[in-house]
Amino acid sequence: MKYASATLPSEPALVRQALVDPAAFADLYDHYFPRIWNYVRYRMDSSPVTDDLTSGIFERALKKLHTYDPAKAPFPAWLLGNAITDYYRSRQRRRWLSLDVLGERSDDAPGPAEMMEADESKRELLEALGGLSERECDVLGLKFGALMGNRRIAEMTGLSDSNVGVIIYRAVGKLRDRLAAKGQTGD
């Protein structure tokens, strides 16, 4: 799957056009949907919830497009807003990824031995992710789930570019250390 670039060159013009012609919103939707869906999927525990929340994000964006101010936030940051936080507050659930999601597979999935090995690796990774702070998980989600660059993450979170890089570096280091220790102990 080919991912979209960070911003559309004609984004401001598309936003203005979408204000008078909602059909123009389709270009914004097509461009940002894969990144928004990937980020939401990284943070949610099921595909149906991801689909519902992502569609809600775009529905709310279309309804409230007149409130978007490019000087305050980049368009993808405005799209996400507090949608995921609001979802979890409404559900009063912790922000952990369920292990049930690891059982989902496509028809062309590898055989049972490969699946068991991959499932064990995913389980260990999720366990290691559970030891990170919420901020570290959010930044890693934006980096690897939404495929955003450090600068875009910094704009969304209010952190500096270098702080984002340090958080990612340290969080990945923690994950690497935890996973290496897990492999050395034989657990």
Task: Give burial (CB, 10 Å; 0-12/13-18/19+) of 28.
Answer: buried
Sole residue written with tokens 């292990």? 99
pLDDT of residue 4: 42
pLDDT of residue 99: 52
**Full-model pTM:** 0.50
Residue 104 belongs to a domain: no
Which CATH number goes with the domain that contains 131? 1.10.10.10
Average the pLDDT over each of 31-35, 73-77, 156-160 and give the range with the smallest value.
Answer: 73-77
For 135, the domain range is 110-187
Q: Are residues 138 and 81 part of one domain? A: no
Give the integer Cα–Cα distance in Å for 161 and 71: 18
Q: Which two tokens stand for residue 64?
A: 């409230």
Residue 101 belongs to a domain: no
pLDDT of residue 16: 87
Which CATH number goes with the domain that contains 74? 1.10.1740.10
pLDDT band at 171 (very low <50, low <70, confident <90, very high): very high
pLDDT digits (tens, 9 = 90+) for 134-143: 888 888 888 8
Q: How many domains are contained in the chain?
A: 2
What are the distances in angstroms from CA 6 to CA 31, 76, 143, 161? Answer: 9, 9, 12, 15
Residue 82 belongs to a domain: yes
Task: Give DSSP secondary structure letters for 16-76.
Answer: HHHHH-GGGHHHHHHHHHHHHHHHHHHHSS-HHHHHHHHHHHHHHHHHTGGG--TTTS-HH
Residue 80 belongs to a domain: yes
pLDDT band at 2 (very low <50, low <70, confident <90, very high): very low
